[in-house]
Amino acid sequence: MSGETVATIHWRALDRDGEDKCRLARLDQGWMLVGHARFRDGNGWAALDYVIRVDADWRTTSADVTGEHGGDTVAMRLVRGPDGWIVNDEARPDLSGAEDVDLAFTPATNLMPLNRLPEVGRLETTSAWVRFPGPMVSQLTQSYTRERGGMVRYSAEETGFETHLTVDGHGFVATYPGLWEAGS
C-alpha cells in the first residue's frame, strides 16, 4: 500500500465487544483510510476491513469493505464519479448529492466531514450510509457544529440521533459517547 502515514488510531467499542484500528495516509492527490474493525453485534462476530480514498478536499471518492459479518462474506465497493455513486457495479441515483461514505460500524468515516468543518460554524453534508446486516446503503443527512471546549455536536436527520464528539488534532473522533473511545 502506498502513501505516507500521517496518523493511526485505535478505538474500543463501548456498546459491545469490539475494536477498530485505522491508519490515515497522505497520497499525491488526497488521502486514504485503511482500517480493520472486529466486533460482535446481534448477528455474531464481524471482521471487516475497509479502504477509503478521499480527494484533496476531504470528499470520499471510493470505499471498499471486505471480510465477514455474522458468518456472511462481505465484498462491497462504492465509487463516487461525475455521474453519481456506483455500488458494486450498480448505479445508485438515490445517493445523488452524497459527498462521503459513512460506515456505520466505525467512527473512522466521520474524519472526512470533520476535516471540512470550519473552525467556527456548522457543516451539513450527506453520506452514503452503509450498515449491516445487508449491507444496506441509503442517504444519511448529517450536521457537525463546533462548540466550546473542543466539542463537536453531531446529528443525523434520518435517525434523529444526536451526540457530542471529541476530536483529535487529525480530525479523528476521540470519544463517541456510548459507542467508541480512542485508546491504546
Kindly report, residue by residue over 23-53, the tens digit of the pLDDT. Answer: 999 999 999 999 999 999 989 999 999 999 9
Provide the 3-class DSSP secondary structure of residue 50: strand
At residue 2 the predicted structure's pLDDT band, cuts being 50, 70 and 90, is low
Q: What is the pLDDT of residue 1?
A: 47
Contacts of 123 (CB under 8 A, 6+ apart): 113, 116, 117, 143, 144, 145
pLDDT at 107 over 80: yes
Alpha helices in the chain (DSSP H): 111-116
Q: Quote the number of domains for the chain.
A: 1
Residues 121-134 have pLDDT tens digits of 899 999 999 998 87
Q: Radius of gyration of the chain from Cα atoms? A: 15
Structural domain span for residue 42 = 4-182
Residue-level pLDDT at 184: 64
